[in-house]
Amino acid sequence: MKEQDIRFLRSVFAEYYSKYSEAVYVPPPVNSREVGFAVWPDRTMVRHMSFRSLTDVREYVLNSPPADAYHSCAVYESPEKPMEYKNVLWADLAFDVDAKDVQPDCIEEMTYSVCPKCGSHRKGNKKECPNCSEESHVVEFMSSRCIASTAYQTKRLQTALVDELGIEERDIAAYFSGHMGFHVYVTSKAIGELGQDARREITSYLSLEGVTDRRSLGKSANLRAIGAGGIGRRFKEEILDIVNNTSQHGDILEEDGVLLLRENKQRILSALDKGRTEDIIALLGLKKARKLLRRAWQRTAIVVDPSVTMDLHRVFRMPGTLNSKSGLPKQRVPLDKIDADVLSLVPEYGRAEVQISASFVPEMEIGDCKVGPFSNETVSVPRYIAAYLILKGVASVD
């Protein structure tokens, strides 16, 4: 990255923190958590820091705005010591719901290969520019469609945590990561003392990993999963959802299946109520019923990244701080607003216009701001959009 671009990014980040340092947040007890920063210019990671209070953290961030800021989910006896001497007392149960796991295809859609030499671009992840055989720069732009489906998974995760795992709503906090994912923290004494194995078991449960019953899907008459317990309820809801939105599932149901499902909707619903899959098979025929149940089962899984939840020593992006993948802040999303367009919640900063030269930018929207398409041109955009495009490597300040 060019020196003037880094200087520009630092000024945008500083502007954000001068306005919103009060939004910077570390869950209590602040003084027992490890804090880490990636610092400008080359985003070197500095870890194993600890602060006495939230005020101290905010002051630090205000005085030396970092590229990224992190806090540990674990609460340590000695957070400032090297890993082997920290000694975990307990740790938030934390989940990472990321678009790359939830819906890889929508990321592909927003992936471009841009040639740094001639500025030509192509869709997808291509190594070499065909014009000048220069190595391409691969960019993944944010996509609101990706964010929306990730938000939907987050919402489902939250519901399962409450209804199935019995976690109190007040112990759950959900955050938009500032880029393409959501983080969900569960803070409760009992849960906090669970070890790695138990956390692993929770993610397996949510994503249906290791379920032995699924082999009998569409074969045996009475599926345990229907009717009993949390997974059963989730499964039933997914079947209902398919029955109610048949047109979205034409690929597996085909025309006659869609019709059949619509005609028999009431009967299928009552079979579900009784937990009798054999009635569904009788109504739709084995082949169609199996397709329906399989798809519903796939959708019953809640997609989270297990390695993140399991790792007690993991650091998470600090709420209220900017994400250096996008220049947008990680921020708390009220549980009842997870479905809403999170980008519209981004607070106001960097609205002054600045001139940049953009190599390639597709048409896109960030919150209420429409950008692009640009191709090898000099344009004027708000400073925070300029920061986003520079961080993506497709623009430079003039």
Partner 1 sequence: MAKYPFVRDAREFVGQHFDLSLAELPESENREAIERGFQRVYQAIRRKKIPFDTQNMIRYDIEVVSFPVAVMLVALINDDMLRNMYATAEAKRCSELMTQDRTDIPRIADELEFQFRVSASGDEQNLLAVRLVDYLSFSPQLWGEKWRLANRVVDKGEVLVTDHEFARILEEKIKRTILERTRTDVSGIKLPALLAEKRTELASVWGEYKAAIQPEAHVEPHDVPPCMSRLTERMMKGENLSHVERRTLVSYLAAIGWTEEEMMSLLRHSPDFNERIAKYQLEHITGRRGKGKRYSPPSCATMRMYGLCFPDRWCNHIRHPLKYRRTA
Q: Which two tokens stand for residue 233?
A: 């309820």
The correct pick among 134, 163, 254, 377 for binding partner 1 (CB under 8 A) is: 163
Task: Tell me the chain's radius of gyration from C-alpha atoms.
Answer: 24
| Binding window for partner 1 (CB under 8 A); candidates: 68-76, 161-169, 315-323, 387-395 | 161-169
Q: Does 200 bind partner 1 (CB under 8 A)?
A: yes
The correct pick among 59, 80, 213, 237 for binding partner 1 (CB under 8 A) is: 213
Q: For the chain, where are the E strands, in sequence order?
A: 35-39, 44-49, 68-72, 74-76, 88-91, 93-98, 111-114, 121-123, 137-140, 172-176, 181-186, 315-317, 322-323, 328-329, 331-333, 353-361, 364-366, 369-371, 374-382, 395-397
Q: How far is the CB of 388 from partner 1 (least distance, A)?
A: 27
Q: How far is the CB of 20 from partner 1 (least distance, A)?
A: 33
CA angle 30, 33, 34 (to 5 degrees): 130
Q: Which two tokens stand for residue 242?
A: 């398919």
| Binding window for partner 1 (CB under 8 A); candidates: 38-46, 200-208, 279-287, 344-352 | 200-208
CB 97 within 8 A of CB 184: yes
| Binding window for partner 1 (CB under 8 A); candidates: 11-19, 209-217, 347-355, 376-384 | 209-217
Q: Within positions 243 to 262, which residues make up the interface with partner 1, using CB under 8 A?
A: none
* Count of residues engaged in binding partner 1, rule: CB under 8 A: 30
Cross-strand partners of 183: 96, 175
Tell me: cis bond preceding 373? Omega within 30 of 0 counts: yes
Q: Does 353 bind partner 1 (CB under 8 A)?
A: no
The correct pick among 23, 36, 205, 282 for binding partner 1 (CB under 8 A) is: 205
Q: How far is the CB of 324 from partner 1 (least distance, A)?
A: 20
Q: Which two tokens stand for residue 272?
A: 């579900």
| Binding window for partner 1 (CB under 8 A); candidates: 116-124, 228-236, 280-288, 324-332 | 228-236
Between 197 and 363, name the residue whose CB sits nearer to partner 1: 197
Cross-strand partners of 356: 379, 397
Q: Does 194 bind partner 1 (CB under 8 A)?
A: yes
| Binding window for partner 1 (CB under 8 A); candidates: 44-52, 163-171, 290-298, 385-393 | 163-171
Between 307 and 355, name the residue whose CB sits nearer to partner 1: 307
Cα dihedral 390→42→347→378 (10° resolution): -20
Q: Within positions 277 to 316, which residues make up the interface with partner 1, using CB under 8 A?
A: 306-307, 310
Between 232 and 393, name the residue whose CB sits nearer to partner 1: 232
Q: Which two tokens stand for residue 2?
A: 């060019």
The correct pick among 75, 231, 304, 354 for binding partner 1 (CB under 8 A) is: 231
Q: How far is the CB of 375 from partner 1 (least distance, A)?
A: 34
Between the alpha carbon of residue 278 and those of residues 116, 127, 172, 230, 249, the distances in Å are: 59, 51, 39, 21, 21
The correct pick among 42, 82, 190, 368 for binding partner 1 (CB under 8 A) is: 190
Q: Does 9 bind partner 1 (CB under 8 A)?
A: no
Burial of 101 (0-12, 13-18, 19+ CB in 10 A): middle
The correct pick among 125, 196, 376, 380 for binding partner 1 (CB under 8 A) is: 196
Distance CA 348, CA 334 (A): 19
Burial of 239 (0-12, 13-18, 19+ CB in 10 A): buried
Between 36 and 367, name the residue whose CB sits nearer to partner 1: 36
Residues forming the site for partner 1 (CB under 8 A) = 163-167, 190-191, 194, 196-198, 200-202, 204-205, 208-213, 228-232, 306-307, 310
